[in-house]
């Protein structure tokens, strides 16, 4: 008679690792198919250059007869937006500092009132 070997059930960690490997294979298959797509590569390249983070549209070839965009105006707009964001950060810091001072003052006021009431008794 052939001896039956008991089937060893895999542990939770082993099942998790197998599942993660399956996800990796799925992702790699997807990425392999996307690398063959030129549009995907163009968008990926633009994203890597920071077009998405800068909030600017992807650079495209100008249409025939179209005038070139004014890059000086774009640069000025970028500087204005940078200054605006810098000011917003400073105003936020000022608000937080004022809130902290107000909280300290309230704590001091409560502490002084409690000391006065103790002296009255």
Residue 16: the pLDDT is 93
Q: Please report which confidence band the pLDDT of residue 9 belongs to, taking 50, 70 and 90 as the band edges.
A: confident
Radius of gyration of the chain (CA): 32
> In terms of pTM, does the model score above 0.75?
no
What is the tens place of the pLDDT at every residue in 107-119? Answer: 888 777 776 666 5
* Predicted local confidence at residue 4, as pLDDT: 63
Instruction: Report yes or no: 35 and 41 within 8 Å, Cβ to Cβ.
Output: yes
Q: How confident is the model at residue 68 (pLDDT cuts 50, 70, 90)?
A: low
- pLDDT (tens digit, 9 = 90+) per residue, 79-98? 888 888 888 989 999 999 99
Q: pLDDT digit string (tens) for 14-31? A: 999 999 999 999 999 998
What's the helix, strand, coil split of the chain in %, to 5? 75, 0, 25
């Amino acid at each position: 008679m052939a001896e039956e070997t008991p089937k060893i059930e895999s542990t939770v960690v082993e099942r998790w690792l197998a599942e993660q490997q399956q996800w990796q294979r799925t992702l790699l298959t997807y990425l392999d198919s996307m690398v063959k797509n030129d549009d995907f590569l163009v968008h990926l390249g633009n994203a890597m250059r920071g077009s998405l983070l800068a909030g600017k549209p992807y650079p495209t070839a100008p249409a025939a007869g179209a005038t070139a965009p004014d890059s000086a105006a774009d640069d000025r707009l970028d500087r204005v937006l940078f200054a605006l964001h810098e000011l917003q950060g400073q105003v936020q810091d000022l608000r937080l500092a004022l809130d902290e001072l107000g909280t300290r003052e309230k704590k001091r006021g409560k502490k002084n009132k409690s000391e006065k009431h103790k002296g009255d008794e």
